[in-house]
Amino acid sequence: MSEIYILKKRGGLGKLEQIKEGFTTYSAQTQSENEEGINQGSYTQNTFPGAVKELNLAWSTLTDSFCFAGSTVDLKEIVKAAKLKYEKGHISEGKLIAPEDVDLGDFNDPFFRHSYWDNRKVATDGECLLNTSVNDDRLFLLSYKANPKCIDKSTNEFSPWEASAEWELISPEVTEALKSKEVNQIIDTLSSLKGMEVSKREMFCNILNLDYNKDIKEDSTVTSLYDAILNPSKQKKLGGLTYGEKLEQLFKLPKDKLTIYSDVVQGMALGIIRGNGSNFNFNAESPKALKRIDVRTEVELPEFFSLVDNQDQYIILREELEKRLK
């Protein structure tokens, strides 16, 4: 079954960075300078009209290999279907390049460096369609899926390369399925919040660092959580999850664990707990308080304060919070 992907340019040469409102485009039946042309509306793409950008099979310095997101079987199928021959000057000139001879880790690999791929696929006006049933398209698709300069929007996964990416891959079919999933998730999450006690909603707001009006928290917590759930963006502070996805995780926690989690987040916000690069400082006034909390990540902090052996430290944290939140 074939799928169509859209490879879309995000920036770089030809990007319309300074034009805020776009411009109007016209079409004409002749080349006469006297013809007014037909108004085609505002141009909304992020590259100049007609701009062409060649696609390439990129080499990654991160993996020291050609970018390729497929399996060994995928690569063999693509090489076999391409039927490329070794080029002039190669010791095997004129012979077919066999699948087993292709080496992703060879910077000068004859298959990936073959002149056949030069200008084989181009993005016009910042976009290029790639069909998985077309062998050439399949190779470029799997190459860009593994390229750190490209964000694969079809996976809906958080990427650390988001800010610096030059390309993005979009699958209309997958995008529609993901949108349906997100809508159902929002409905389920809102249903779970309905009728929930206010104190629990407060803890969710604290954990997610959401502002709410404490004087009218009955309504304010609902509004804050509702707005957060409707935000589809992946949050770095939540480990690449959306607010809705994080809430789904929090719903599964028992109330005692949720309370500790909320207290830890508030403790960090107030400076009672501070990271120092290798572990965490515990800035409490009690002489019984540990100076250092020996965990490496924020994710481990709630678990630390949940342990039976550390309940004395949790009590100290609660006392500090009560003093500072008066």
119 & 157 share domain = yes
86 & 143 share domain = yes
The Cα 95–Cα 87 span in angstroms is 9
In the predicted model, is pLDDT for residue 36 greater than 80? no
141 & 182 share domain = no
Residue 25 forms part of a structural domain: no
Residue 36 forms part of a structural domain: no
Q: pLDDT band for position 21 (50/70/90)?
A: very low
- Out of 41-50, 94-103, 127-136, the most confident range is 94-103
The Cα 295–Cα 312 span in angstroms is 17
Contact between 280 and 295 (Cβ < 8 Å): yes
Q: pLDDT band for position 160 (50/70/90)?
A: low
Q: Which range is least confidently modeled, 41-45, 120-124, 211-215?
A: 41-45
Select from 20, 21, 38 the least CA-distant residue to 29.
38
pTM of the entire structure? 0.50
Helix (H) or strand (E) holding 76: helix 72-82
Residue 47 forms part of a structural domain: no
The Cα 43–Cα 22 span in angstroms is 6
67 & 163 share domain = yes
Residue at token pair 């910042």: 126
The Cα 263–Cα 249 span in angstroms is 17
Residue 240 forms part of a structural domain: yes
In the predicted model, is pLDDT for residue 125 greater than 90? no
Question: Which residues partner with 235 through β-bridges?
Answer: 241
Q: pLDDT band for position 49 (50/70/90)?
A: low
Provide the residue type at 281 as one letter: N
Q: Per the structure, how many domains does the chain have? A: 3
Q: pLDDT band for position 52 (50/70/90)?
A: confident
244 & 258 share domain = no
Q: pLDDT band for position 105 (50/70/90)?
A: very high
Q: Where in the sequence is the domain holding 311, given as residue range(s)? A: 254-326
pLDDT of res. 171: 84
Query: Higher-confidence residue: 13 or 220?
Result: 220
Residue 121 forms part of a structural domain: yes
pLDDT of res. 192: 76
Q: Last residue of a domain, which of 213, 231, 252?
A: 252
pLDDT of res. 277: 86
pLDDT of res. 28: 55
Which residues have CB under 8 Å from 39's CB, separation 6+?
Answer: 24, 26
What average pLDDT is seen over the chain? 84
Other CB atoms closer than 10 Å to residue 189's CB: what's the count? 20
In the predicted model, is pLDDT for residue 223 greater than 60? yes
303 & 291 share domain = yes
Q: Is the dihedral of CA 41, 44, 47, 50 positive or negative?
A: negative
Query: Higher-confidence residue: 243 or 142?
Result: 142
Question: Which residues partner with 241 through β-bridges?
Answer: 235
pLDDT of res. 19: 40
In the predicted model, is pLDDT for residue 81 greater than 90? yes
240 & 140 share domain = no
Q: Last residue of a domain, which of 252, 267, 301?
A: 252
Which residues have CB under 8 Å from 134's CB, separation 6+?
Answer: none
pLDDT of res. 231: 85
Long-range contacts of 39-48 (CB under 8 A, 24+ apart): 45/16, 45/125, 45/126, 45/127, 46/9, 46/10, 46/11, 46/15, 46/16, 46/126, 47/9, 47/14, 47/15, 47/16, 47/125, 47/126, 48/14, 48/16
